[in-house]
Structure 1
Amino acid sequence: MREPATWRRRLDDTFEFLCRIRRSSTQQEICRHLLCYAERFGATNLLAGPIPPPHALRREQLSHVLLDAWPEQWSERYFSKGYLDRDPTIQLVSRGSRPFRWSEMGEMCRICPSGWRIMDEATEFKLCEGFTIPFATLERQAVGFSVAGEKLDPDPHDRIAFQFVAACAFGCAAILADGKGNSKPVSLSSRQRDVLSWASEGLTVDEIADRLSISRNTADTHLRAARERLGVASTVHAVAEAFRQGLIA
């Protein structure tokens, strides 16, 4: 059972950070806001970007990094030694995994010895524990978003809330990188905005249908239509993108 007042306060706090991210004028500023948000559960570093194709050259790998607050020396070693193709976090992101803590990877996939060595080397740079959020664009391009630090302790709310924050931040960073800050926003119907607003409160499809006095199938149809209009593949990403564009508040 949720504590309504506590849930509301934490939700308001999350949206405050989303507003700061949306107003950011550089990718570095987005990184600062993200780390300020994520430090509450121990994160001190972050890295995010689309996953390059297998065996991509180092230059191409680096060009895919969109948000970078990773230890510089570790990044230099990682990309110069071609660790990307053996990194178990990248393998899980490419498979479209659910969000995961690095400590959960052994249960989720079979990690080769070189993969464990990469994770062990990361601890030399105080990247001892991490949390990775995989998501995909409508074009099915896999995106990885990782935060890490010496000790991470995200509670269930932190894990869910940070998915919204990460998806919104990635959308803002992509627009800045492409120079499309003045691109025309998408329009949504009033019902599509309604279902996304309730989804942003953490409600399930069944709960949204109940709140709006519509069938579950109708609620799901509105959510799918909103995702298609926003050009994203998940409801979490749709909420973040709708918030970024000012379609919901």
Structure 2
Amino acid sequence: MVRESAIWRRRLDDTLEFLCRIRRSSTQQEICQHLLCHAEQFGATNLLAGPIPPPRALKREQTSHVVLDAWPEEWSERYFSKGYLFRDPTIQLVCRGCGPFRWSEVDGLCKVSPAGRRIMDEATEFKLCEGFTIPFATLEGQAVGFSVAGEKVDPDPHDRLAFQFVAACAFGCAAVLADGRRNSEPVSLSPRQKDVLRWAAEGFTVDEIADRLAISRNTADTHLRAARERLGVASTVHAVAEAFRYGLIA
């Protein structure tokens, strides 16, 4: 148990150091380069991220929603030109609010249509054979998809959790750059809200956080919920990443 805790702590420290590089990035392309450097450890070579546009959006509107782009150009052109976005089973899962998933898990999570199957098969022509998708949701309910892919993508449970933090932070930084708001409005958290997020970053559950801080489970959950609302996100993982991006926790 002690050895596992030490390994997790080292991985967390590595992840936080990596997040520092992302936070210092001055362009979206620089963020993409950092992300691919991080993701290559589990086989990913490409990435694409952005909020999901409304149904029936035309190609120009679809592509305008892309915030981070390191996807094969020819595949993107085909994908958006033919309206694949709204038939892609991975996007359907993102819109449903599914948790993070590997593409090999899609069949077990939803019924894939013949059109959806063709889309995934066509992606392999561009060496996007396996992938890992992280859905986000804002408090306003806007769905955000973040996918990495390659010929063989095999994140272990630690990689999956660490990359959720990395992806959430990177998306926040990229969205700010895309909007031209390098210095967004300041966000503040109470000392207790920072405490619960620090422990959440360590991978602790609400019950474990409550034990560590000698407070009730309900109080710990209330602080986490308040932190998410302050940061404008719907999940604790996303809240941790945003708090780190704003420099509120370290």
Matches within 5 A, 1:4-43: 4-43=5-44
Mapping 1:1-249, distance limit 5 Å: 1=1, 3-249=4-250
After TM superposition, give the deviation of residue 184 of structure 1 in Å. Answer: 2.7
CA distance in 2, matches of 1:227, 1:6: 28
Cα distance in 2 for residues equivalent to 1:233 and 1:6? 28
Q: What's the offset of the Cα at 1:7?
A: 1.1
Distance between the aligned counterparts of 1:104 and 1:60, measured in 2? 29
TM-superposed deviation, 1:21: 0.4
Measure the CA separation in 2 of the matches of 1:6 and 1:183. 35
Deviation at 1:49, TM superposition (A): 0.2
Distance 2:39 2:186 in 1: 28
SS of the residue aligned with 2:182? coil
Relative to the length of structure 2, the TM-score reads 0.98
Name the CA distance, whole Å, in 2 between partners of 1:78 and 1:45: 15
- Which amino acid is the alignment partner of residue 161 of structure 1? A
Q: Secondary structure at the match of 1:49?
A: strand
Q: Given residue 22 of structure 1, which amino acid in structure 2 is its aligned partner?
A: R
- After superposition, what is the alpha-carbon deviation per residue over 1:136-167, rounded to whole angstroms, capped at 9, x for unaligned? 01111000000000001100001111111000
The C-alpha deviation readout for 1:17-64, integer Å capped at 9, x for no partner, is: 100000000000000000000000000000000001111100000000
Aligned pair count reads 249
- Aligned mates of 2:172, 2:185 — CA distance in 1: 14
SS in 1 for 2:163: helix
Helix, strand or coil: the match of 2:80? helix
* Matched letter for residue 123 of structure 1: T
Query: Any idea what SS the aligned residue of 2:247 has?
Result: coil
Q: TM-score, normalised by structure 1?
A: 0.99
Aligned-pair RMSD on alpha carbons?
0.8
User: How far apart are the structure 2 equivalents of 1:198 and 1:54?
Assistant: 39
Q: 5+ unaligned residues in a row in structure 2: which ranges?
A: none
Query: Residue type of the partner of 2:49?
Result: A
User: Unmatched 5+ residue regions in structure 1?
Assistant: none
Runs of 4+ in 1 over 2 A off after TM superposition: none
